[in-house]
Amino acid sequence: MNGPLLKVENLTKHYPLGAGIFKKSIPVIRAVEDVSFTVEAGETLCIVGESGCGKSTVARLLMRLVEPTGGRVLIDGTDIAGLKKDALRAWRRQMQMVFQDPYSSLNPRLTAEK
């Protein structure tokens, strides 16, 4: 494998605040704006920040649970935006999100590796 394990380029997510047929432009919430980073094999990445800054949205975008407004996510050089339903399901089986409340997400009797 050459290159980073995970590469995020200019990732953006905007949520529209409503729609109307008479509005020329729809106001949006800019949940994530132009986020870029790479993670090499063997590295660990932790996304931290205050409440409401977009951490969970970035995680959902990385899992493709929501579609980005812009940017790309590459895993081992493969753009996950191009994965079809079956390939996406298989890819998600290999990934896991750890939610903000570790007591409801992790079994205390197991190591994080298990």
* Residue 80 resides in a domain: yes
| Alpha-carbon distances, residue 97 vs 20, 44, 57 (angstroms) | 35, 14, 12
Q: Would you write out the chain's pLDDT as a tens digit for each of its 114 residues?
A: 578 999 999 999 999 887 667 767 788 899 999 999 999 988 988 888 888 899 999 999 999 999 999 999 999 888 999 899 999 888 888 887 776 665 665 666 776 665
CATH of the domain at 95: 3.40.50.300
How many structural domains compose the chain?
1
* Residue 42 resides in a domain: yes
Q: Name the pTM for this structure.
A: 0.78
Predicted pLDDT of residue 86: 93
Structural domain including 12 reads: 6-17+26-105
